[in-house]
Amino acid sequence: MLMIERIADLRRQVSLWRQAGERIALVPTMGNLHAGHLQLVDAARGPADRVVVSIFVNPMQFSDAGGGDFEHYPRTFESDRKKLVENGVDLLFFPAQEEMYPAGFKDVTQVQVPGISDILCGEFRPRHFVGVATVVAKFFNMVQPDVAVFGEKDYQQLLVIRRFTGELCFPVEIIGVATVREADGLAMSSRNQYLSVEERRRAAALYRVLQAASERLASGETDIAAIESAAIACLKDAGFRPEYFTVRRAYDLQPAAMDDAELVILAAAWLGEARLIDNLPLRRQCTVPV
Ligand code: PAF
215 Cα–ligand 1 center, Å: 31
pLDDT digits (tens, 9 = 90+) for 135-167: 999 999 999 999 999 999 999 999 999 999 999
Claim: this prediction has a pTM higher than 0.95: yes
> Residue whose CA is closest, atom 2 of ligand 1?
29
The segments of the chain whose pLDDT lies below 70 read 65-67, 286-290
Q: Where are the chain's structural domains?
A: 2-177, 190-281
In this predicted structure, what is the pLDDT of residue 286?
Answer: 60
- Statement: 2-177 belongs to CATH 3.40.605.10: no
pLDDT at 290 (0 to 100):
45
Annotate 3-23 with three-state secondary structure.
Answer: EECCHHHHHHHHHHHHHCCCC
d(CA 192, CA 181) in angstroms, rounded, equals 12
- Cα of 29 to ligand 1 centre, how many Å? 5
Per DSSP, what are the bridge partners of residue 29? 55
Cβ contacts of residue 230 below 8 Å, gap of 6+?
213
Domain 190-281: give its CATH architecture: 2-Layer Sandwich (3.30)
The closest alpha carbon to 24, from 38, 37, 14, 9, belongs to 14
- Closest-CA residue, ligand 1 atom 1, reads 29
Q: Which atom of ligand 1 is nearest to the CA of 136?
A: 9
Minimum-distance ligand 1 atom for the alpha carbon of 151:
1
Alpha-carbon torsion 31, 35, 39, 42, what sign? positive
Q: Are strands 262-271 and 274-283 parallel, antiparallel or unpaired?
A: antiparallel
At residue 287, the pLDDT reads: 54
pLDDT per position as a tens digit, 98-123: 999 999 999 999 999 999 999 999 99
pLDDT for 288 equals 52
The pLDDT assigned to 68 comes to 82
Q: Give the per-residue pLDDT at 64.
A: 73
Cβ atoms within 10 Å, residue 233: 13
